Structure 1
Amino acid sequence: MRVFVTGATGFIGSAVVDELLGAGHQVLGLARSDTGAAALTAAGANVHRGDLQDLDSLKDGARETDGTIHCAFIHDFAKFAENGQIDKRAIEAMGDALEGTNKPFIVTSGTGLVAPGTVVTEDMRSTNPHVPRVSEQVGLAYASRGVRAMAIRLPQVHGKKGKAGLISYLVEAARKKGVAAYAGDGSERWAAAHVLDVARVYKLALEKGMADGVYHAVGEEGVPMSQTTEIIAHAVGVPVVSIKKEEAGEYFGPLAMFAGLDMPASSALTQQRLGWTPKEIGLIADIGQPGYFTG
């Protein structure tokens, strides 16, 4: 299968590209720069120039291939609402191009804000009107328009030095503030997964996922923030402190919306439906390795 991948040079997207190529698929990767294009070529993929705001380029990439995987997102939480709308328009452009083709179209969303405080499952749908990222709702709407539309929800993804989802931003906050903080008692849990396990979910969903299907690329249901914060403190060389939830805005900045949230998630249905089993190293063991967070 020839697959169009957005975000193909990013942390997760590049792992997806490698997984697809290793399984015998061909990849057409979106690249917005010469550096990105060179990286894709070196990986063995073909290059499609453009970016998330070049809607004609996105439509062409989707039309020219047998399936589309949308991994790209602008991760600037200070502009979360604006970037959510850019993502929405990009998904609509690709979805419109795919209408009536029954081609696979995978969009990316997250497990965290579906239903905080509950172990989120694949059968629970995201309905929170206050979450700026609406990729799941917009993408899955194309399942009723002749597209094999699916969504993959991601937890905190680790597996490459310096990369660990929102945890990477917490490391930077610890460096700036001189303390590693968690809100409340630190018992809230964040689901996690290794990037190589995540990449396999994308491949399996592409090959045999069902229209309107939601899949969880979750390796660990929930890792307590107290444990994660201890790792951050050790890596940065600062003490651990507990702060009140009302103080989260000052410490965490744009990430305050996630502070103190219990965000566990299950992948039991994904494992059953796709025949997937997570097998890579866990979050604490991985990010606790010397030098994982450097610089």
Structure 2
Amino acid sequence: MRVLVLGATGYIGSAVVERLAHAGHEVIRLVKDAGRVAPGVPARVGDLADPASLRAAVTDEIDAVLHIAAPTGDESVDTAAVDGLLHRLRGTGRAFVYTSGVWVLGATGDRPADEDAPTAPLGIVVYRPRIERQVLDAADDGVRSVVIRPGIVYGHGGGIPGLMTDWAREHGTGRYVGPVDTRWPMVHVDDLAALYVLALTRAEEGTLLHGVAHEAVPVAALAAAADLAAGGPGRAEPWARETAGQTLGTPFAEALALDQVVSGRRAVDELGWQPNRPNPLTDLTGNIRA
């Protein structure tokens, strides 16, 4: 397939691009500035704030579009961007994969939330369910539309766990926001990349998938592992949400304190997804510097 990828240089996007290339797909990056692309790298110019540029980028020879770019934070802009990307896919059966996230579910309780669970989005992602619905409804217009909700992504020293390691290094101890029993659903970035490729090639139109390999990782234990990774003895202490909000911003601090248990079983059962990377605690402590 010839795949147009938005967000190709990001943490998730770069892993997906590598996986696509390994699977034999041709990747075309959507960039704001063609001058920043290395010579010989296929790219097209487009901007989320310019729907016309997105419509122009999705030409007839594009077989699928992967939207992995970070949202702008403006619902009207993101809605128009998705509409622009979908414009020339309608009626063609070509694939469109959109990236959302598990924070749209809100607090889940102890029962693992699957894709049929109702949404209760936090403020940081308050309009995201409406974008999801916009994408999924495109299945009625002949688009093989798919929404993926990744859990908290980790691996290769990146993602929020990478930030936690930096906090431990800076403050001399691991830190976590929220109660000591807070849990996060998580996925290794390489396993997540494999899911994108499966969704691109196997998912039916109108499919919603949770990209979650570990349903409920204890965040206090993750903070202790981050302290080990930073060279400490494996300590962790609570970081008051109000204080964390002053440093990180209140919406992000609220999200970090969110307790969730989320199932990713549908991707395993329907697409044959087989996440096999080390769990987050092992991954973090495996990066301890000698």
TM-score by length of 1: 0.83
The 10-residue stretch of structure 1 (248-257 or 205-214) with the greater mean CA deviation from structure 2: 248-257
In structure 1, what is the equivalent of residue 201 of structure 2? 207
Amino acid at match of 2:132: E
Structure 1 residue 32, shift from structure 2 partner: 3.0
In structure 2, what is the equivalent of residue 273 of structure 1? 270
The 10-residue stretch of structure 1 (222-231 or 57-66) with the greater mean CA deviation from structure 2: 57-66
In structure 1, what is the equivalent of residue 91 of structure 2? 100
Matched, 1:290 2:287: yes
In structure 2, what is the equivalent of residue 16 of structure 1? 16
Residue 157 of structure 1 aligns to a residue in which SS? strand
Amino acid at match of 1:66: D
* Partner Cα distance (2:246, 2:190) in 1: 35
The 10-residue stretch of structure 1 (51-60 or 273-282) with the greater mean CA deviation from structure 2: 51-60
In structure 1, what is the equivalent of residue 4 of structure 2? 4
- The 5 A counterparts of 1:36-185 are 37-38=37-38, 41=41, 46-64=42-60, 65-73=62-70, 81-82=73-74, 85-118=76-109, 119-126=112-119, 128=121, 130=123, 131-134=125-128, 135-161=131-157, 163-164=158-159, 166-174=160-168, 179-185=173-179
Q: Which of 219, 223, 236 is the matching residue for 1:229?
A: 223
Q: Contact conserved, 1:59 with 1:94, CA < 8 A, in 2? A: yes
Q: Contact conserved, 1:9 with 1:39, CA < 8 A, in 2? A: no
- The 5 A counterparts of 1:240-251 are 240-245=236-241, 247-250=243-246
Structure 1: gaps (5+ residues): 75-79
Deviations 1:159-217 (A, max 9, x none): 223x12x3344445555656533244421111111111111111111111111111122
Structure 1 residue 69, shift from structure 2 partner: 0.8
Amino acid at match of 1:18: E
Q: 1:12 to 1:246 in 2, by over 3 A?
A: closer
Q: Would you say how many aligned residue pairs link Structure 1 and Structure 2? A: 280
Structure 1 residue 8, shift from structure 2 partner: 1.2
Residue 136 of structure 2 aligns to a residue in which SS? helix
Residue 187 of structure 1 aligns to a residue in which SS? coil
The 10-residue stretch of structure 1 (17-26 or 112-121) with the greater mean CA deviation from structure 2: 112-121
Amino acid at match of 1:257: E
Structure 1 residue 283, shift from structure 2 partner: 1.1
Q: Contact conserved, 1:9 with 1:36, CA < 8 A, in 2? A: no
Amino acid at match of 1:107: Y
Deviations 1:20-79 (A, max 9, x none): 2222222211123457522982xxxx21123322323322232330111111115xxxxx
Q: Contact conserved, 2:99 with 2:147, CA < 8 A, in 1? A: yes
* Partner Cα distance (1:40, 1:287) in 2: 36
Structure 2: gaps (5+ residues): none
* Partner Cα distance (1:240, 1:203) in 2: 37
TM-score by length of 2: 0.84
In structure 2, what is the equivalent of residue 77 of structure 1? none
* Partner Cα distance (1:94, 1:18) in 2: 22
Q: 1:184 to 1:47 in 2, by over 3 A?
A: closer
RMSD, aligned CA: 2.7
* Partner Cα distance (1:176, 1:35) in 2: 36
Q: 1:191 to 1:290 in 2, by over 3 A?
A: same
Identity of aligned residues (%): 31
Q: Contact conserved, 1:235 with 1:291, CA < 8 A, in 2? A: yes
Structure 1 residue 132, shift from structure 2 partner: 3.5
Q: 1:290 to 1:30 in 2, by over 3 A?
A: same
The 10-residue stretch of structure 1 (84-93 or 234-243) with the greater mean CA deviation from structure 2: 234-243
* Partner Cα distance (1:246, 1:38) in 2: 43
